Amino acid sequence: MLKSIAVYYQKLIEKWKTLVFCGMIFLLKTNLILASREPFPIGAKSWGIGNATAALADRNSVFNNPAGLGFLKENFVSTSYHSHYNISGLQTLSLSSNYNTKFANIGLGIERFGDKLYNEQKLGLAFGKSTNLVSLGLKVSYFQAAIENFTSKNTLLTEFGVMTKFSPKIQFGFHAYNLTGAKLFASQHIPTILRLGISFTPTKQILLVAEAEKNIELPTLIKAGIEYQIVKNFYLRTGLTSKLNHAHFGFGFQSKQFIFDYALSSHSALGFSNHLAISYQIGKNNTQ
């Protein structure tokens, strides 16, 4: 009898824990969306340089600025794992690829955040078309958020990007996220975010990046980063983000057609996050 009562109360406590956890995750994600951390930057290289990626054309362009696809000469297949503050249930997984055609360069990106209690999925198709100096990009994504046994919402998100080569060493980029003002819930807006950035390569070994990010409901955010190639195919990275108390560190190396990237980002209040990415480059080994 006593054993049955104990089992009953144990199950009841577990149910309450589940409800409380769902509520905390829901509130946390609502806060994150309203706090200009969406769209979530993808790629360990991106995190290593402070997520100042609006003017970069690389293997993460399908997530960070679709205009970058137009300048890519090689095709990539990439996957990444992001662990937020070492908290269970707060992980992001991604898978992406790009394919170059005569008409335009195409990119496919898949993202998943969370676990079975609360999760978000995003499936996006991007296009990039370039001339010698200017590239235009467009991306449409299907976005779904779900709380187990409670609710599930979905919407379509649109993105637009432009990149231009001002000189062989200087490149500018502009990226607009959620142009149509899509939202999941009446009280939960997905922000519209505008980003303007620059990348500068004074030498073959050094990459400097900076950008201004404007959530239309929040103050402007400034991000900057640097990548330094200390030896052939081995890179060290660091970056800073204003007003969010974020610091970024990382490294990457390429072995034949495989590219490995790792980054560590820190928040003064929440702690550390880890970011890992593995990419396979299809084509000549000259993109980096």
Q: What is the pLDDT of residues 38-79, one digit of tens each?
A: 578 899 999 999 999 999 999 999 999 999 999 999 999 999
Tell me which residue of 130, 79, 77, 118 sits closest to 99, measured CA to CA.
Answer: 77
Q: Find the CATH number of the domain harbouring 93.
A: 2.40.160.60
**Residue range(s) defining the domain that contains residue 245:** 2-282
Which pLDDT score, from 0 to 100, does residue 79 have? 96
pLDDT in tens, 140-162: 999 998 887 777 888 999 999 99
Highest average pLDDT, of 2-6, 183-187, 265-269, comes from 265-269
The answer as to whether 52 is a domain residue is yes
Partnered with residue 85 across adjacent β-strands are: none
Sign of the CA dihedral 68, 72, 76, 81?
Answer: negative
List the Cα angle 95/58/263 in 5-degree steps.
Answer: 70
Mean pLDDT of the chain: 84
Q: Residue 222: count other Cβ atoms within 10 Å of its Cβ.
A: 15
Whether residue 288 lies inside any domain: the answer is: no
CB environment 87-120: b (16+ within 10 A), e (fewer): eebbbbebebbbebeeebbbbebbbbbbeebbbb
- Contact present, 222 and 65 (Cβ < 8 Å): no
pLDDT at 17 over 60: no
Report which listed range, 144-148, 162-166, 267-271, is most confident: 162-166
Whether 15 is covered by a domain: the verdict is yes
| CA 152 to each of CA 143, 146, 184: distance values in angstroms, whole numbers, following the listed order | 11, 4, 9
The predicted-structure confidence for 86-100, as pLDDT tens digits, reads as follows 787 788 999 999 999
Higher pLDDT, 267 or 200: 200
Give dist(CA 227, CA 83) in Å, integer.
22
Q: Quick check: is 104 in a domain? A: yes
Tell me the residue type at 236: L
Helix, strand and coil percent figures for the chain, each rounded to 5: 15, 55, 30
What's the structural domain count of the chain?
Answer: 1
Residue 25 pLDDT > 60: no
What are the C-alpha distances in Å from 123 to residues 4, 94, 141, 210? 46, 10, 5, 28
Supply the DSSP symbol for 68.
G
Residue pointed to by tokens 């950008």: 211
pLDDT at position 267, please?
Answer: 80
Confirm whether 287 is domain-assigned.
Answer: no
